[in-house]
Chain A
């Protein structure tokens, strides 16, 4: 498809388990972002990749969270030892240029529920 693709769309896991969320950005987009959307809390920035530059990890809430982007395309967000407060919708977005002048294209998100 032409849009940002995320998988899985829904994930239910038990507290303490690790989860991986995948994002396939729009082909050719150099910038990729992960945000977290919690009920009533808006969108919380997690991490930003731009081309071959070092990622901006300033939004990751703890060292249990990590992300990588292989070959400048697909990205995986990993949450280790999940906690109930990690339950949220994890949104991926990509853009073709500098984020401060261009628009972001969002995927439909991965809804994570930690029991």
Chain B
């Protein structure tokens, strides 16, 4: 079975400060990892993915994520948060031989001005 854990229901950060949204996973074989964002009253949008190669992946809107195989983690980061980054963030994983992404329960990011 494959699973994703997002341990924080909500993350609060001040505008201009760095942000981290945590994600850990469990899969068989090599993982393919994704981050999606859901703005209020909008559909989910793809942010970034890790398939292979560099452990640090850069994505849309200045976000990046670091794949750590030993810790089975794929934390989402941004050096300087914006108020407009406030949204619901989902981590997702798929393992070898599986056919559909498994999503985490989501983390609500609140950036305060």
- Closest residue on chain A to residue B95 by CB atoms: A100
Within 8 A of B (CB), among A43-93: 43, 45, 48, 50, 56, 59, 91, 93
Given contacts A41-B105, A45-B101, A101-B32, contact A109 B94 (CB under 8 A): no
CB distance from B74 to the nearest CB of A (A): 15
Beta-carbon contacts of B1-43 to A below 8 Å, as 1s and 0s?
Answer: 0000010010000000000000000000000101010000111
| Interface size class, chain A | 20 to 34
Instruction: Find chain B residues with CB under 8 A from A91 CB.
Output: 43-44
CB distance from B100 to the nearest CB of A (A): 5
Interface residues of A (CB under 8 A from B): 3-4, 33, 35, 40-43, 45, 48, 50, 56, 59, 91, 93, 99-101, 103-109
23 contacting pairs across A/B (C-beta < 8 A):
A4-B43, A42-B90, A42-B103, A43-B44, A43-B90, A43-B92, A45-B102, A45-B103, A48-B100, A91-B43, A93-B44, A99-B94, A99-B101, A100-B98, A101-B49, A101-B51, A104-B44, A104-B46, A106-B36, A106-B43, A106-B44, A108-B41, A108-B43
